[in-house]
Structure 1
Amino acid sequence: MSSSSPRPVEPRWKTLLAILSLVLATAIWVTGLIDSLSRPSVAPVLTLQQQELSVLAEPAVPSALRPVLMGEAPRQVLLQALRDSPESRRSSRQTQLLKLLQGSEDADIAAARASDDPLLQLLACEAEPDASEALCLDQQIASGAALRLTLSATLPLVMVLLGSLLLLQQGWSLLRGQQQPSPSLEGPELTLIDMILLVAGGFVVISAVAMPLLALPLVGALTSALASPRREAVGVVINYSLMALPSLLILRRQLRALDPQRSPSGGWLQWGLHPPASALRLAASGWLMVTPVVTLAGWLVVKLVGDPGGSNPLLELVLGSRDPLALLLLLLTAVVLAPLFEEVIFRGTLLPVLASRVGSGTAVLLSALVFALAHLSIGELAPLTVLGIGLGLLRLRGGRLLPCVLMHALWNGITFLNLLLL
C-alpha cells in the first residue's frame, strides 16, 4: 500500500451506519444461504441433457467408444432417469419423451414429428409402424450430437490435466526458489469501515433490498412485450446492472474523497491495462491452474454431503434457451458485466485494503470467502471460495486488476460454453 500516515478516526455516524449495514447484510446472507438449500440443483438437468445427447449421438459414435462417452444402453438410462424424476418437475417435453421411450399408446406422435426438437422427431419416427433405423436417422444431427458429446466430455478433462501440470510446474519452481518476486500490492487508502459500507451496505443491503423494488417495475415495463426466453434474459441484464450500481457509486465517492497526490502509479484500482498480452497470459495460466482445484472442491462437496442444490438460476436459463439473442444477453452478463463489477469490488478494492491490515495471505482468504458468500449458494460455497483464492493470488502475482477480470471472464465463458454444448 502507498500510505504510512496515521489513519483518521471515523465519524461516529459512519461507524454506526457500518455496524447497521453489517448486521443487515449478515441477516440477508444467512437467509439467502438457507433459502439456497431449497433451490433446485442444475446437476440433474445437466445429467439429463447429457443423456439426451447420448441418444442422439449413438448412431454416429463408433461402438468401441460408446462405453467411454455414453455408457451402456443410453436409451434405457434416459428412460430410467425420466421415470425417476418427480412428475411435478417434469416439463411437457420430458413427459412426451417418457411416453415415446415407453411406447405408450397415448404418445402424441404427430405433435412430436411436427416439433423442431430432433430427439422428439427421432423417437416419434421410430414409433411409427413402418419405421426403420435408416429412415429415421439424420446423420448430420447424429454427427453434430456426437461432436458436442465428445467435446463436453473431453474439454473439462483436458483443462484439468493441463492445469494440474501447471500447478506441478509452479510448485517445483517455488521449491527451487525460481519464482519471480511479486510486485508490491497497491490499492486505495480506504478503511475497514469504508469496506463494510461498500460491501455490506452497497453490495448487499441496498442491492438486495432497495434496488429490486426499483428494478421490478422497470424490468416489467421494458420486457412486457417480449416473449420468453428474451424477457428473462433482458431482465437478467437490467437486474444485474441495477444491483451493481449502488456499490460502484459508493466506491466512486470513496475514491474521489482520497488525496489524488497519494495515488500510486497506475491509479487506486491498479488496472494495469498495458501490456494486454501479458495480462491475457496471466489470466489463462491462472484459470488453468485453478480449474483442477475447483473441480476437486466440487467433487468433495458432492461426495461428503451429496448435491446440496442452490445452483445459480442463470445456469438453468442458459440450458433452457435456444434463442440466440437471449443467449447473447446472458453471455454479456456472465462474461462482461459480472467479472468487471465483482473484480473491482473484491480484488480491486477489498483485497488490498484487507492486506494492509492483516497481511496478503489472510486477505486473499477473507476476500475469497466474502466473494463466495455473496453468491448466496451453500452448494457453491466451497468451489467459489477456491476460485476466489485463485483470483486473489493472481492479483498478488501480477500486481494488476486486468488479469483478474480476464480470468474471471474466462472461467464464466468456459462454463457458458460447456452448458451450450449440452
Structure 2
Amino acid sequence: MTSPLNGRSNAVPKWKVLLAVVSMVLACSVWFLGLMDSLGRPSVAPALSLEQQELALLAEPALTPSLKPLLVGQDPAKSLLETLREIPLDSLSDRQTLLFASLENDPGRRKTLLETPLQLPNLRTLQETLATEPLPRDLSSRDQDLLTDNSPDPLTQRLVCEALGGVQADCVESSAAKAAARRLVLSELMPLGALLLGSLLLVRQLWLLFRRKQSAWPELQAAPLGLVDMVLLIAGGFVVLGEVLVPLLVTPLSALVARSIAAPLNQSVAVLIGYCALATPPLLILKSQLDGLDQRLVPAGGWLQWRVRPWWTALFQGGRAWLMVMPPVVLTGWLMSRFIGDQGGSNPLLEMVLNGRDPLALFLLAITAVVLAPLFEETVFRGVLLPVLGRSFGRGWSVFGSALVFAVAHLSIGELLPLLVLGLGLALLRLSSGRLLPCVVMHALWNGVTFLNLVLLGS
C-alpha cells in the first residue's frame, strides 16, 4: 500500500528491518563499550585546575588589590603548591617538578624533588642551580643569566628566581604578568557574566511560562521518515559506519598524511580528517533518505527546516538559548562532581586545545569543534531525529529521546548528564523556534566559548 502523503510504501521491507535490528545491536554494543572505556580515560579537570592556578599566580603581581581576592584568592602560591603535592611524583612533568621544587618549603620533599632526574637539559640546569647550597642567597649575575637562558616560561623563571633569593620586583616579568592578568579576567569574568545573565533570562522565561504568557510554538515539521529510517541513520550510519568501519580505512590514510606534518599540527589534521570521515556516512544515508521522498511535498524551509533568513533572529535566538542553558548545565556538572566525583572520560580534544601552542593547529581544531561538529550534530539530532520522534511519540518524548541519544553518542559517562541537559536545551530551542539554524548557533557558541576559555588558560 502506498501513502498518499509521501508516495512511499507504508510496508517496510523485511531486509530493511533486519538491517536496522543488526545495526541497533551493534551500535548499542559499541556505545556500551565506549562508555565503559571512558571510565579509564583521564579527565581534563585536574589539568584545567592546574592551568588556572598557574595563570593566577603569574597574574597576581599585575592585579589591583581589589581584584586579587576575587580572581586569585588569598595565597595563589600556596594553592598551587597544595595541588602539586596531590600529584604523584612520577606523573609530574619536568616543568611541574621544577615549579614544585621552587615552591616547596619542606626540606625532605624539596630534596627529593631536586634529586629527581629531569629529561630536559635546560630545566636540569635550573634544578642543579636550586640544589646548590645555601638557599636563599643573593642572586649573582651568573644566576640571572641562567634564568634568562634556561627558563621555558615567565612563571618558571619567576619562581626559580624567588627560590634563589630574588625579590618579587626583580623576578617578575611585568609584560607577562599583565598579559596573564588580562587572560585571567576574561576566563573568569566572561563565564561568570554569562551565568548571571543566563540565570536572569531563565527566571524570566519560567515566569512567563508560569503566567502562561509564553508565545505559542510553531507547528513541528517532520520529514516523512519512520523509526526504522532513524535506526539506520544513527545506529547504522553514525555508529557502525561512521565510528567503526570507515575509521578502519581512513585512520591509516590520515596517519600517512600526518606523518609528513610536524607535531602538533599533525594531530589537528588527523582530528579534522577523522571527524569528516565520521560524518560522511550518516550524511550520505540522510541524503538518500530525503531524496527518496516526494519532493512535491517539501514544506517551506525544507525537510530540515533550516530557515536561514532572517539570519539575525537566528543569532539572537541561539545566543539567548546558550545563555539560558548555561546555568542548568553548570549546576548539573557541579552536583555530579560534589556527590559522584570526577568520573573522567573527557573528550581528548579538550586537552589538545588546553596544551595547544601552534596557531594553525588550534585553528584546525576550532574548525572541527566550532563549525563542523555543530553543523553535523544538529542536522542529525535536531534536524531529523527530533521531528521524527515528535511525530511518533509527541513533543515531550522527542525532546528527551533526542537529547539522550545526543548525550550517549559522545561516549563519556563523566559528561553524560551535563550533555543530556545541553541536549534538552537544544531540543527545546528547535521546537520553540521552528528552525534548525538557531540550534547550530547555540551549539557553536557552547563549543566556541569552551574552546576560547581553554585557549586563554593554556596559552
Matched with 1:21 is 23
* Structure 2 partner of 1:191: 226
Residues 285-364 of structure 1 mapped to structure 2, 5 A cutoff: 285-364=320-399
Deviation at 1:112, TM superposition (A): 7.7
Residues 14-413 of structure 1 aligned to structure 2 (within 5 Å): 14-102=16-104, 105=114, 108-109=125-126, 110=146, 113-128=149-164, 131-413=166-448
Which one is further off, 369-378 or 66-75? 66-75
SS at match of 2:233: helix
Cα distance, 1:69–1:377 mapped onto 2, change above 3 Å: same
Q: Scaled by the length of structure 1, what TM-score is found?
A: 0.95
Q: Tell me, yes or no, if the aligned pair for 2:7 and 2:293 is still in contact at 8 Å.
A: no
Distance in 1 (CA, whole Å) between partners of 2:440 and 2:48 is 27
Contact in 2 for aligned 1:96/1:108 (Cα 8 Å): no
Distance 1:35 1:290 in 2: 28
Superposed CA deviations along residues 220-263 of structure 1, whole A, max 9, x for unmatched, are: 11111222211111111010010111100110111111110111
Q: 1:379/1:231 Cα in 2 relative to 1: closer, same or farther (>3 Å)? A: same
Distance change in 2, residues 1:224/1:4 (3 Å) = closer
List per-residue Cα deviations over 1:96-145 (Å, max 9, x = no partner).
Answer: 2223333665653247843442212222333445x332222111211121
Conserved? CA contact 2:8–2:293, under 8 Å: no
Distance in 2 (CA, whole Å) between partners of 1:182 and 1:226 is: 50
Matched position secondary structure for 1:45: helix
Supply the distance in 2 between the matched residues of 1:355 and 1:402 (Cα, whole angstroms).
19
Shift of 1:271: 0.7
Decide which structure has the larger Cα Rg and report it: 2
Q: Is the 8 A contact 1:286 1:407 kept in 2?
A: yes
Bigger drift between 56-65 and 237-246 goes to 56-65
- The answer to whether the 8 A contact 1:308-1:378 is kept is yes
**How much identity, in percent, do the aligned residues show?**
54
Total equivalences in the alignment: 420
Report if aligned partners of 2:62, 2:174 keep a CA contact under 8 Å in 1: yes
Give the whole-Å Cα distance in 2 for the aligned partners of 1:236 and 1:413. Answer: 17
Deviation (angstroms), 1:72 = 2.5
1:51 touches 1:78 (CA, 8 Å); kept in 2?
A: yes
Q: Which amino acid aligns with 1:124?
A: V
CA distance in 1, matches of 2:428, 2:29: 30
Instruction: Report the 3-state secondary structure (helix = DSSP H, G, I; strand = E; otherwise coil) of the residue aligned with 1:363.
Output: helix
1:3 to partner: Cα distance: 4.7
SS at match of 1:55: helix
Q: Give the AA of the match of 1:108.
A: T
Deviates more, 1:89-98 or 1:222-231: 89-98
Question: In structure 2, what residue type is equivalent to 1:43?
Answer: A
Q: Which amino acid aligns with 2:20?
A: A
Alpha carbons 2:222, 2:391 under 8 Å: kept: no
Question: Which sections of structure 1, spanning at least 5 residues, go unmatched?
Answer: none
1:386-408 residue CA offsets vs partner (Å, 9 max, x unmatched): 11110001110111111111110
Counterpart of 1:418, as a letter, is N
Give, in whole Å, the separation in 2 of the partners of 1:86 and 1:133: 29
1:319 maps to a residue whose letter is: L
The 1-side partners of 2:346 and 2:29 are apart by: 21
Q: Distance in 1 between matches of 2:243 and 2:218?
A: 36
CA contact (8 A) 2:6 2:294 kept: no
Q: Report deviation, 1:40.
A: 0.6
Equivalent AA in structure 2 for residue 123 of structure 1: L
Between the aligned partners of 1:214 and 1:382, the Cα distance in structure 2 is: 33
Contact 2:195 2:327 in 1 (8 A): yes
Q: Deviations over 1:288-318 (max 9, x none)?
A: 1101011111111111201111111110000
Amino acid at match of 2:125: D
| Contact 1:112 1:120 (C-alpha < 8 Å) held by counterparts | no
Distance in 2 between residues matched to 1:269 and 1:380, nearest whole Å:
28
* Alignment check: 8 A CA contact 2:242 2:281 kept: yes
Distance 2:394 2:194 in 1: 32
SS of match in other structure, 2:374: helix
The Cα RMSD (Å) is 1.8
CA contact (8 A) 1:192 1:353 kept: yes
Deviations 1:173-203 (A, max 9, x none): 2222322211111121111000000000111
TM-score by length of 2: 0.88
